[in-house]
A and B are shown apart, each in its own frame.
Chain A
Amino acid sequence: MNALRRNVLKSAAGASAVAVAVAAGLLKPTQAMAAWNKAAFEAKNVGDAMKGIGATSPADSKDITIKAPDIAENGAVVPVEVTTSIAGTNSIAILAEKNAQPLVGTFELAGGAQGFISTRIKMGQTSLVRAVVNAGGKTYTAAKEVKVTIGGCGG
């Protein structure tokens, strides 16, 4: 899902730069290969968050289903289930568009992992819950509105 990360890993220059950083103690080995996408997670609007995960203009898709309550009883715990039948799904990202930081998580699927993720998220207010699917080098998206009566971000 993170094209930048993949490019860094692929290029020899990237690998050696990372190796130098690890040797210099700047990057711990476990962090070097799996840097958490800080820019995307700290983006304060959905546009920047989408850019951060490499989804600049995803196509709307009816092959992505978002199962979430129409009205969330508790904004701190909103169950969200994303299912997609798009062939070659590599990853699913979940965003809550009106959260102070919209990106909730990116889920990379490998091996026989199916296009399915179920989790529970915090929502600060009524908003679209958006799923972005990366499949076959393209991105697809769908969204569902979830009404929130009591916001769950604690702010």
Chain B
Amino acid sequence: MIDPIPHPAGLAGLSYLLILGMLGVAVVLTFIRLYRGPKLADRVIALDLLAIESIGIIVNYAMALNRQMLIDVAIVLALLAFLGTVAFARYLEKRVEP
């Protein structure tokens, strides 16, 4: 049972709030690029960066909640992000530009 309110067991003081706030700002900035990227390749890069930001958020949340098993989610997310980016690149290269 995961507590609804994170209790900072190890991270010093309330610094996990600062860290998660910085990562939230990063996610918002990346979504702006995802929205207005002029080409598809820009959007693919933004998606790749979003996956890495999610890894950061998950690992910091695991430290704030003191749950070790959330690290596994970060591993799976890294694998899936690489696969998605490579697949996008393959089909972007083969696509005939309209």
A and B: bona fide binding partners? no
Q: Interface of A with B (CB < 8 Å)?
A: none
Residues on B facing A (Cβ under 8 Å) = none
